[in-house]
A and B are shown apart, each in its own frame.
Chain A
Amino acid sequence: MTDVKNTLVKFQSIIALLVLCIVLTIMSDKFFTMENGWNIARQISINVCISVGMTLVILTKGIDLSVGSILAFSGAVAAGLLKFGLEIPSINTYIGFTVLGAILTGLTVGGALGVFNGWMITRFKVPPFVATLAMLTIARGATMLWTGGFPITGLGENFDFIGTGWFLGIPMPVWITVVLVVIAVVVTKKTQFGRHIYAIGGNESAARLSGININKIKIWVYAIAGILAAVGGIILTSRLDSAQPNAGMSYELDSIAAVVIGGTSLSGGRGSIMGTVQGALIIGVLNSGLVLLNVSPFWQQIIKGLVILVAVIMDRLNHPNDD
């Protein structure tokens, strides 16, 4: 009996996902189609990218509110460099960027902002909520400065391939996301780094006394969250062929929702990348289904909120011992 219960608990988000799909298939003939499948996959790929980083952060008992802004800034940086290059008038220099160069710079900027988050959190003991809240504003402001408040568009076919192209019958964003997820699963389950993340979130004091370098791990985790947000930014910019100054607004909330629905504990130390992927899928499928069923966007938001609550209540019931 308890075995059955344990199995149900273990697969509860997959079961929820299946039930959701079956219900939607019955209710709408447009839901269970190849086209809609790829649509959903493409739509959630950005959220999954960000949420992989968010999962790592939350596993260490932290939070990263700045991912949406970092996404926007990194995307804008890549787009701007690609389109206009970098002009430094004081030394009379102009640097042009290839697609690869622009992307790598965008990712580096995302990583650097993440390192800054981690530095504030470890060196100055700023609570993660506050440190990343500050970065949310800072990076958004930087995006406005960089873009002058206007979209940067017309980025060329090569760049747009990342967000809109297909490879071996699968959309590029899905490829990128799958590769990142696989790497993240291996890192969390199979490396020292991953183990240390769980240990820090589970009991920071015990981890410190075991000789784990808490600060180093945390800075890395926030850096990775920044880089993955930048990946999301590049994909989004490429898909729209445009870097929008207000891109990624409130993406951090969708990302936290995916992590939480996926069963990762906000008190740290418990959760998984695959759980987060399922969480993002549930949100994506729900979104798509509600649109297909012509549910009003206002109701969609209410339903999404309720789903988050139900997921967390289930989690509480299954793990009564966690604080």
Chain B
Amino acid sequence: MENQPNIVLQAKHITKKFGGVIALSDVNLAVHTGKVNVIVGENGAGKSTLMKILSGVYPEYEGQIFVNNEEVNFSNPKDAMQKGIAIIHQELNLIPYLSITENIFLGREMHNAFGILDSKQMNKKTKELLSRLDCNLNPKTLVSELRVGEQQLIEIAKALLEEAKLVIMDEPTSAISDTEVESLFKIIASLKKQNVSILYISHKLDELFLIADRFIGLRDGKMVGTIENAKEAKKDDLIRIMVGRDIKNLYKKEMVSFGEEVLRVENISLPKITSRSSYLIKDINFSVKKGEVLGVFGLMGAGRTELLEALFGMHSKIMSGSIFIENRQVKIKSVMDAIKNGMGLVPEDRKEDGLVLQMEISKNMSMASINNVVKNGFLSTKLESLLSKKYIEALKIKTPSEKQLSRNLSGGNQQKVVLSKWLATTPKVLFLDEPTRGIDVNAKNEIYHLINDLAKDGLGIVVVSSELPEIMAISDRILVLSDSRITGEFNQENANEEAIMKSAIM
């Protein structure tokens, strides 16, 4: 602290664990007043967790937080708000069918002595707040009529109403258009002039250089360095802070010899529903051989999940391009077609899309291949039990019995149930979308080994992941997606973290 900068918020020795998983470990952070403080780091580095602690979403943690040199203990976001800390989440928290004013004043409405709302006064105040943000929207406009960028602005206005001294922004540009990004940056500049501090998370490096005053690097839940003068920093400096995670504990892939080509896709494109001219994925070409694990890496919004969904028949009405299974072109108009042609998809969100949580493990496992447990037209509990016992044993699923409800399993074991469901269909190609999201380190390792075993059995596997060390450890070949296109391809020899990250932010 040679220049003695003003510090609006200081966090000391912050550690946060989820169950056995350490999300943050001994993090020290100082947020400088009136500056744009940018936190950079890969997915899973702990950025969002840190933000949630600072804004009172997670009240339980080890360590201390000081706001203007006064120690604070937030038990909820409202506490944080009262101390002048506001967070703008990735997903906006506005109520669509209320007006701008009603949203801004939600929970702190102005009213007269009879409890009647003072709309005039509130609208006037809203108008003032909006003009501070150089915005001339009518305060009575419904939020549902606003574009996402404008909605973000409303969130910021809400923070200003509370006289926030520090505004935390979590990936604010991930969902808005380029022109909206421009106006957001203007707003950030004017907030700075009003001496409001910004703590900003993003991994779009290009835009960060436009607004950042200082960079703070986070990796594996630890602070890895700060760059005080952002204007002089180079892209390579940043990439160096972001990558380089400790992977010596991670698993080492066994080599498998490849067979024939099992899947080939040509010119797969998926336009956005809202506009025909922009794309969720564009002109994707690749092929996978039997026994091969193809990794697809990309940052958020690159089109990873959309690619898998498109191949799996979920967007057949708007998708264009051709799919070949074992060199034969197939028409995939629905999920049913995809399954019939030997595909399986382990979705990103296993609780939302993978499992029926209130059903037994055995019923979840037979769900996609239920014909195999039918005897004389009726479901056979015996066949179903046999099937599920086979996979419980093969995948080492920890459960008292196959009748256990899926809800009661740990994340790693739930993921194995979803995998079993697909293995029971005897697929030729398996798509895995973020297969280790939200599961602990040991279970991750088990899943990696499983993927390797399945490849050995001759499956073609496509794994999507936003975790760089993971994708490098488990893939034979890596495709990088950025902004809906393939921007790089790496094999075991030429893959290195910095090169992959460079393609991902192209």
Contact = CB atoms under 8 A, between A and B. Distances in A.
Contact of A203 (B339, B355, B370, B378): B355
A206 interface: yes
A269 B406 CA distance: 14
B224 to A, nearest CB: 38
B363 interface: yes
**Do most interface residues of chain A lie in helix, strand or loop, or is the interface mixed?**
helix
Interface in B324-341: 335-336, 338-339
B300 interface: no
Contact of B339 (A205, A207, A211): A211
Contacts of B357: 202-203
Contact of B421 (A192, A198, A210): A210
A210 B367 contact: yes
Question: Which of under 10, 10 to 19, 20 to 34, or 35 or more describes the interface residues of B?
Answer: 20 to 34
B379 A191 contact: yes
A224 interface: no
A202 B356 contact: yes
Contacts of B172: none
Interface string A187-227: 00111101110110011011111111100000000000000
Given A190-B378, A192-B379, A202-B358, A210 B368 contact: yes
A7 interface: no
Contacts of B339: 210-211
Contact of A195 (B312, B314, B335, B370): B370
Contact of A207 (B347, B367, B407): B367
B345 interface: yes
A296 interface: no
Contacts of A205: 352-353
B359 interface: yes
B377 interface: yes
B374 interface: yes
Nearest to B384: A195
B354 interface: yes
Nearest to A202: B356
Nearest to A189: B379
A190 B376 CA distance: 11
Interface of B: 312, 314, 335-336, 338-339, 345, 347, 352-359, 363, 367-368, 370-371, 374, 377-379, 407, 421
Interface of A: 186, 189-192, 194-196, 198-199, 202-203, 205-213, 269-270, 321-322
26 contacts: A186-B378, A190-B379, A191-B377, A191-B379, A195-B363, A195-B370, A199-B356, A199-B363, A202-B359, A203-B355, A203-B356, A206-B353, A206-B354, A206-B355, A206-B356, A207-B356, A208-B335, A209-B335, A210-B368, A210-B421, A211-B335, A211-B368, A213-B336, A269-B356, A269-B358, A321-B358
